[in-house]
């Protein structure tokens, strides 16, 4: 290991004694920063760091060929039923069922040559949500694996902790595989302290509320304070140095902080939004989830992950059969409406430059349409879309071949996307993380796409 390498130990917050010695004493700690960040980046930091990110994740695998990378000159069994339409960027076309997004393409960038090796949903989701190839196959991924890779939002929570009662990372409204949180959606080896605050209620429901933020009916604010004081008196001291003790204390503190905070309750209260704005996002579970994500970012949440559709739901993006009908009638309209409204809304509020929006699934779909009128899993080439965060609007990075099967130019990986995200927050992708077995990992395995940003 190089002497100037940077290190953060999973589930053990704060610098090790060796790190302090490497950095020349306590000077690095005087700023209140982890020593891994105080050593100085190996790559120039962005001129303007972002403050938040929003991940819009379409579990199941949206078809790139029917959305962002249409192939009108390909054979019929590849090009499919949808025609391309013009956008606000001359020469840049998208699928016909993205008409609202087409109007704001001048604020988006399309990455058309994303690829990775994982061909099944869950392992591919780990790849996409963590920026690295999982060490286990799909059937071996376990919900309770404490040494799995942390998702991007949890890593940000670890390195850039929340400065208010608001959670640093919120996920909503689904967990990807029914009610089971699999690796890729949680903090993994960083520890449960850095798991996202998970909302599973439907923000479009008339009675939507986050029950975790509401004390039981007989618990007044005064009684809540007394309970917190009692816990402090009876809890064992945290000076025993055990990570489990520190984790439990941190979870209790977070829970009490959420229950105490009026700012948290306001951020989650969609009833305070103008009904016309709610209509713009779409009165759907997805549309209102994206609107809630914007409210949370505006209130100060660092990262919000919006998961669209569960794996076994009737409207999932795993379009092996009747793909064009499902995309046309059920899947694309709410996604199109929500993304367009989000981009315009963030711009109107002056939040677009400081917030990076990522639109992605875990992979794309096969170039050739199958016998059931759908497309199958295809991680060899697919598209990701970025908005805000200083991205160059109207840009296209990379290209696929004539049938959208493989990268033809400037192929990139989820590791490159992760490195880009961390770099935009001012974090060095070379920062070193260590898992529970002390195995070292770079914060991100790829290279930031610096040329995509102003």
Each residue's pLDDT tens digit, 399-441: 999 999 999 999 999 999 999 999 999 999 999 999 999 999 9
Query: Which residues, 6 or more positions from 265, have their beta carbon under 8 angstroms from its beta carbon?
Result: 213
Please count the other Cβ atoms lying within 10 Å of the Cβ belonging to residue 51: 17
Task: Indicate whether 287 and 318 sit together in one domain.
Answer: yes
Q: What per-residue confidence (pLDDT) applies to 245?
A: 46
Mean pLDDT on 16-35:
31
Q: How confident is the model at residue 389 (pLDDT cuts 50, 70, 90)?
A: very high
Confidence of residue 218 (pLDDT cuts 50, 70, 90): low
Residue pLDDT, tens place only, 148-166: 999 999 999 999 988 888 8
On average, the pLDDT of the chain sits at 84
Domain boundary among 267, 285, 301: 267
- pLDDT score at 7: 42
The total of structural domains in the chain comes to 3
Say whether both 248 and 319 belong to one domain.
no
Query: How many other C-beta atoms are found inside a 10 Å radius of the C-beta of residue 256?
Result: 17
Mean pLDDT of 287-297: 98
pLDDT tens for residues 103-139?
Answer: 999 999 999 999 999 999 989 999 999 999 998 777 7
Burial grade of 315 (CB within 10 A; 0-12, 13-18, 19 or more): middle
What is the percent of the chain where pLDDT is above 90? Answer: 67
Position 209 pLDDT exceeds 70:
yes
Q: Under a CB-based contact definition with an 8 Å cutoff, are residues 312 and 302 in contact?
A: no
Same domain, 279 and 140: yes
Same domain, 336 and 201: yes
> What values do phi and psi take at 85, rounded to 5?
-125, 155
Tell me if 327 sits within 8 A of 319, measured CB to CB: yes
Q: The domain that contains 152 carries what CATH number?
A: 3.40.720.10
pLDDT band of residue 293 (cuts 50, 70, 90) is very high
The pLDDT score that the predictor gives to residue 336 is: 98
pLDDT digits (tens, 9 = 90+) for 308-344: 976 566 678 999 999 999 999 999 999 999 999 999 9
- Structural domain containing residue 1: 1-40
Digit-coded pLDDT (tens) for 3-19: 333 444 443 333 333 33
Same domain, 186 and 78: yes
- Domain identity same for 287 and 154: yes
Do 217 and 331 sit in the same domain of this protein? no
Residues 247 and 356 in one domain: no
Tell me the per-residue pLDDT of 58-87, one tens digit each, with 9 for 90 and over.
999 999 999 999 999 999 999 999 999 999
Q: Residue 6 has which token pair? A: 């940077």
Mean pLDDT of 90-102: 98
Based on the domain organization, do 167 and 246 belong to the same domain?
A: no
Q: Could you tell me if 366 and 356 lie in one domain?
A: yes
Based on the domain organization, do 439 and 334 belong to the same domain? yes
Helix (H) or strand (E) holding 126: helix 121-130
Q: What global pTM score does this model have?
A: 0.84
Continuous H helices in 15-96: 17-22, 35-38, 76-79
283 with 241, same domain: the answer is no
């Amino acid at each position: 290991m190089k002497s100037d390498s940077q290190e953060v130990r999973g589930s053990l917050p704060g610098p090790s004694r060796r790190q302090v010695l490497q950095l020349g004493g306590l000077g690095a700690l005087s700023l209140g920063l982890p020593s891994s960040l105080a050593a100085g980046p190996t790559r120039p930091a962005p001129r303007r760091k972002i403050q938040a990110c929003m991940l819009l994740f379409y579990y199941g695998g949206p078809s790139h060929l029917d959305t962002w990378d249409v192939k009108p000159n390909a054979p019929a069994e590849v090009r499919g039923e949808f025609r391309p339409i013009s956008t606000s960027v001359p020469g840049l076309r998208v699928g016909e069922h993205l008409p609202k997004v087409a109007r704001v393409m001048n604020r988006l960038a399309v990455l058309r040559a994303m690829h990775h090796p994982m061909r099944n949903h869950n392992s591919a989701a780990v790849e996409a949500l963590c920026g690295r190839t999982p060490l286990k196959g799909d059937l071996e991924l376990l919900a309770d694996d404490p040494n799995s890779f942390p998702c991007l939002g949890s890593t940000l929570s670890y390195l850039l902790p929340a400065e208010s009662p608001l959670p640093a990372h919120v996920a909503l409204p689904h967990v990807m595989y029914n009610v089971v949180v699999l690796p890729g959606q949680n903090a993994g080896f960083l520890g449960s302290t850095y798991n996202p605050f998970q909302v599973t209620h439907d923000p479009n429901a008339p009675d939507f509320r986050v029950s975790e933020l509401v004390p039981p009916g007989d618990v007044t604010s005064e009684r809540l304070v007394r309970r917190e004081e009692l816990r402090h008196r009876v809890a064992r001291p945290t000076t025993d140095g055990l990570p489990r003790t520190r984790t439990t204390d941190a979870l209790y503190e977070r829970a009490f902080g959420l229950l105490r905070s009026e700012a948290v309750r306001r951020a989650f209260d969609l009833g305070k939004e103008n009904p016309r704005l709610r209509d713009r996002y779409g009165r759907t579970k997805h549309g209102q989830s994206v609107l809630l994500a914007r409210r949370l970012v505006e209130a100060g949440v660092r990262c919000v992950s919006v998961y669209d559709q569960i794996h076994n739901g009737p409207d999932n993006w795993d379009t092996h059969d009747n793909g064009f009908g499902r995309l046309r009638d059920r899947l694309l309209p709410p996604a199109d409406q929500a993304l367009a409204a989000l981009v315009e809304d963030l711009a109107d509020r002056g939040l677009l430059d400081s917030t990076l929006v990522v639109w992605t699934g875990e992979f794309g779909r096969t170039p050739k349409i199958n016998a059931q009128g759908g497309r199958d899993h295809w991680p060899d080439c697919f598209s990701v879309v970025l908005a805000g965060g200083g991205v160059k609007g109207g840009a296209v990075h990379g290209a696929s071949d004539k049938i959208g099967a493989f990268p033809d130019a400037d192929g990139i990986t989820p590791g490159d996307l992760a490195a880009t995200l961390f770099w935009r927050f001012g974090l060095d992708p070379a920062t070193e993380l260590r898992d529970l077995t002390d195995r070292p990992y770079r914060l991100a395995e790829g290279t930031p796409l610096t040329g995509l940003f102003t």
